[in-house]
Structures are given as structure tokens and as C-alpha cells.
Structure 1
Amino acid sequence: MLIDSFLKYLQFERNYSQKTINSYRVDLIQFERSVKDCNEELTLTNVDADIIRQWIVSLMEKKYTASSVDRKLSSLRSFYRFLLIKKELSIDPTRKVVGPKKKKPLPVFLKEVEMNKLLDETDYKEGFIGVRDHLIIEIFYATGIRLSELIGLNDTDISINDSLIKVTGKRNKQRLIPFGNELKESISEYINIRNETMKTWSGAFFVKENGERLYSALVEKLVKRQLTKVVTQKKRSPHVLRHTFATAMLNNEANLNAIKELLGHASLAATEVYTHTTFEELKKIYKLAHPRA
């Protein structure tokens, strides 16, 4: 009865879609059955936080994902808020219940051998387009900059003599990223062929054939096209190359704080995810290599 009243409230007062209402119905009926299985004398109005926690544990044991359990718990919270408004109870039993932690996916990255193949063995188009596309891949890997930062680069942001790139990141925060001789040669080659190919351009560092600044979708497309040549993984985006930069730096014993500054992270916590990535890789190697693993 209470569930029906709540669902009518969602339909007529909150104007929820029928699909959403059906999801609430399934969640609440499932919870009510669980309560009855626990104790026949219990009702939806006299359960406590422990009963709800037991229900969450039972869902996890049935292999529900953390996201699914959180959604069901959200349905329950809405239901009990409704009962408080209707004065069917005086205390919300969900108020001290915390849902399961969602497991954050580890960053996807390319191995060093895959990056070597991508930069040294993969065929790019000849002329301006080929040189430009190769440099884009190289800069992503060599500097770890974001897509928005790359397309926002201007000629004035590149100092070949000092081997520095000035990057404007999130919240317009600027940082300097050093680069090595190999990238220095690639940048010089690109500038020369770009200046020979077009008489005028917008002042942007990376441009299309008509001299206009590149846009995100174009860069995403060319990165995906090139990564497809060396990997089969689902994610093949510019951000994968940013992850690859950070992972390569960490694997080669770079200081975590230094990586944080190069990536433009606001806090060290965002950078620490790469330590988990390298540890996961270490576990895989161990399991493959050790005879008792």
C-alpha cells in the first residue's frame, strides 16, 4: 500500500517517466521481500539501518555492481523521504547507511613497445598532414598535455631555443613543460613544412590545411586512427596518450610530485592513480613469470 502511494506520488506530483517508476517499483518490492525473508514481523516502517545494510550485503553477494546497489539504495532513500513527509515514520532508517564504494577504473595506457611502434614504424601520410599528425602523437606522449591544451597552443607558446612549451590548462592556469632533442627536431620539421605549405595562418600552432586552428573532433579522429594500427583496446583517445606519458614517467622512477606538475593536476591524489596502474602491471608480470604464482 505504501509503495503504491509512493509510486502514484512520483507519477502525478513529480511527473516521473513510467520507466523510472517501474525501476522504483522493482527496487522497493525486492527490498520488501528481503525484509520479510529476514523477519516475518518486520514491515517497511519499522526496519532499521542494520536491516538495510544486510540487504546491501545480500545484493553484493548476488554479484550486483556497486552502481546498481547505489541506484537501489537511492530508490529506498526517496521512498523513506516520502514516508517522512507523510508522517508514516519519524526517523529515516537510510540516513546512516552508506552505499558500496565504486571501483574506479584504472587508466588505460600503451606499453613502451607499442608507443615505439606507433612513432617509429607506423606509416603516416606524406607532406604537411603526415608530419603534423605524427607530431601530434609525439607531443601527447612526450608532454602528457590534454587535448584542449594541445589545440589551444599558439606559435608564441613554443620556445625551441629553450625547449619549453607554455601550456594553458584548466582554470587558465599556465605551466611550462620541457621537451627533449627528438621532439625539438620534430617541431622544427613541422614548422618548416607548415610555413612552406601555407602563406598565412591563424597564429595557432597546429592548423588544418587552410591555416585554421584544429578542433577537438579532428584530433580525436586522427589519434584513434593511428592507435588502431598498434592496439586493439577499446579506448583509443588522446587521453590514453596522456595516461601513457604519466605511466612511462613513473615506471622510469620520476618523482610523483614532478609528474603532478607536468600534468597540471591540482592535487597529488589525481596523480596517485598511476601508482595503482603500474602496480597492476607488476602483478600481471608476476603471475606470468613466477612458477608458483
Structure 2
Amino acid sequence: MAFKAFSDYLLLEKNYSKLTLKAYLNDLEEFQIFAISEFNSDSINEVHYNQIRNWIVALVESGITNRTINRKISSLNTYYRFLLKIKAIEVNPLNKHKALKVNKKIQVPFSEAEMKAVMDAVHSANDFEGLRNRLIIELFYATGIRRIELVNLKCSDVDFANKSLKVLGKRNKERYIPLLDSVIDTIKSYMKVRNELVIVSDDTYLFLTKKGVKVYETLVYRIINDYFSMVSSKVKRSPHILRHSFATHLLNQGANLNAVKELLGHSSLAATQVYTHNSIAELKKVYTDAHPRSKK
């Protein structure tokens, strides 16, 4: 098995996170178990596409979504491409595989009115948790950062002089995002009450719990869901929807797509273009309301 070499390759050369690496290895081990039980083979290096297709059929029959199946096959494909790279195999058994069709999920962003309602609700917060939650919401909406990026922010990542934020994104890529004056003010207010915590065990991290330890992803999700449930009837109320709202509202106001791409930390423009459907919808509304022929 070349799992160890593959693991080092993803971690050291590709700069994948440990969480992503774990997901890849879990998928490979799952297929290995299937190969042993179905084909009596403990080496997935020597399987043929027909055997992989049997696994896909088994996954479909188990009720797993096409999206999840595609992710598992993508892990397998990455592994085989690595084996080709190190010349451990001569042919990638997945070189002609076509991904299963998936229904595109339309992420509905929060409206500007919903954003204003939440911002008004948190504006008067002055205790530790209130200011922390307010800053979390403001940062998500003002920067479009991912949940894990927010959780891992350090105090040193805030550059007050240049009014910017250093963010460590996917594959350890750094990017710098400008900060609004209002967000800078909230950070200063939060830092004041944060420094008054009696016990702090994770002093380097910006966001802490009231017990002085680094915040965790589920807590951040719960904060966003709780606040937005007060003003929005949307089924999904998550940090990712706030990221989506950030991008959509910028595009609605005429922001350049490439600029939004850089702010979001996307590696390709295609990833950013998924946010344009709401911008186009807004343009259609403006067009219909304003064009003389639309009244006829």
C-alpha cells in the first residue's frame, strides 16, 4: 500500500489540511474493505474500473447521495493519479470515469434587510459574549471568510495600522482582506473585554469562549443559526450562507468578479461564478422595472 507516501504527498506537497487528508484516507480505506470482501484483494492498486463501478453501484444502493459518491471517487482518482506520478501503476482505472449527475443546490443568501435586522440586534452588545458574537457576524459579512478560517484567526492576524486581516485559507494559502472602520471599532471593543477574562488558555487566538479557550466550529454555527433564526425563515442559516451573502451583495452592487474571487480565496473563477445567479436575478429585476418596453 502506498497510503503513507500518498498521505505525505497530500500533506507536504499539496498542503492539504489534516481534516481533508483524513477524509481522503477514510475513502481509500472504505474502498479497500470493499475490495477485500468482494474480490478477495487487499491491494486497490491493481483493481480494474469494473470493480470500482461495482463499488459505485453498492454505494448508490446503500442510499448515499451522488454528491458524496462523487467525492469518494474523487479521493480514489487523486490516489491513482499519485500512483501514476510515482510510476507505481501504468494506467489510471478512473481515467474515463464520468461523475454522477447531481442536483445543483441553490444557496439562498440572506437579504440586505435580514442582514440589517441582525446587525441592528447585535449593535448594542457590550458584554464579552455579546461583543464576540457581534464581531463574528460582522467579520463573516464584511470579509466573506470561511468558518474554519474564522475559528483559526489569531490576534496577530489583525493589522490595525493597515486596516486589514490576514487569513490562512485552503492549502495554507494566505490572503489579506481589507477591514471596514466599523469592523475595526468592533474588534477594539471586543479585545477590551476579551483582555478582562480571568482565565485564558489559548491567548494567541482571536475568538475565545467565556472559559478562555479557542472557539470551535459547532459553536460558531450555533451563534449564526440562533441570531438569524430571529429574522429569517430560511431553512439554512449558517456561516456559509453569510459567506454567500457577502459575495452576492458585492456583485449586486457592481463589484468585479475577479476582485470577489480574491476576497473569497477561490483558486479559480469558476468557483466564484456560482454566486452570480443572484446577481443576475437582481439585474433582471432592475432591468424589468426600468426598461420602457417592460411596461407594455
Normalised TM-score (structure 2): 0.63
Distance 1:214 1:166 in 2: 18
The Cα offsets for residues 153-197 of structure 1, whole Å up to 9 and x where unpaired, read as 011111112111100000000010111111111111000111123
Match of 1:232 in 2: 233
Shift of 1:100: 8.6
* Cα distance change, pair 240–23 in 1 and its aligned pair in 2 (3 A): closer
Match of 1:38 in 2: none
Match of 1:129 in 2: 129
Structure 1 counterpart of 2:131, which letter? Answer: V
Match of 2:176 in 1: 176
Shift of 1:109: 0.7
Shift of 1:22: 11
Shift of 1:282: 4.1
Does residue 254 (structure 1) correspond to residue 247 (structure 2)? The answer is: no
Q: Contact 2:252 / 2:282 at 8 angstroms: preserved in 1?
A: no
Distance 2:258 2:144 in 1: 15
Partner-residue secondary structure (3-state), 1:208: coil
Distance 2:209 2:113 in 1: 30
Partner-residue secondary structure (3-state), 1:240: helix
- Residues 1-293 of structure 1 aligned to structure 2 (within 5 Å): 102-121=102-121, 127-198=127-198, 200-202=200-202, 203-283=204-284
Structure 2 counterpart of 1:251, which letter? Answer: N
Q: Contact 1:143 / 1:177 at 8 angstroms: preserved in 2?
A: yes
* Cα distance change, pair 229–248 in 1 and its aligned pair in 2 (3 A): same
Q: Where does the alignment leave 5 or more consecutive residues of structure 1 unmatched?
A: 1-11, 25-66, 72-95
Q: How high is the sequence identity, in percent, across the aligned residues?
A: 42
Shift of 1:146: 0.3
* Cα distance change, pair 288–99 in 1 and its aligned pair in 2 (3 A): farther
Distance 2:60 2:229 in 1: 41
Aligned residue pair count: 214
* Cα distance change, pair 255–105 in 1 and its aligned pair in 2 (3 A): same
Normalised TM-score (structure 1): 0.63
Shift of 1:230: 1.0
Q: Where does the alignment leave 5 or more consecutive residues of structure 2 unmatched?
A: 1-36, 41-53, 71-95
Q: Contact 2:144 / 2:264 at 8 angstroms: preserved in 1?
A: yes
Partner-residue secondary structure (3-state), 2:274: helix
RMSD of aligned residue pairs (Cα, Å): 3.6
Q: Contact 1:163 / 1:179 at 8 angstroms: preserved in 2?
A: yes
* Cα distance change, pair 21–132 in 1 and its aligned pair in 2 (3 A): closer
Partner-residue secondary structure (3-state), 1:105: coil
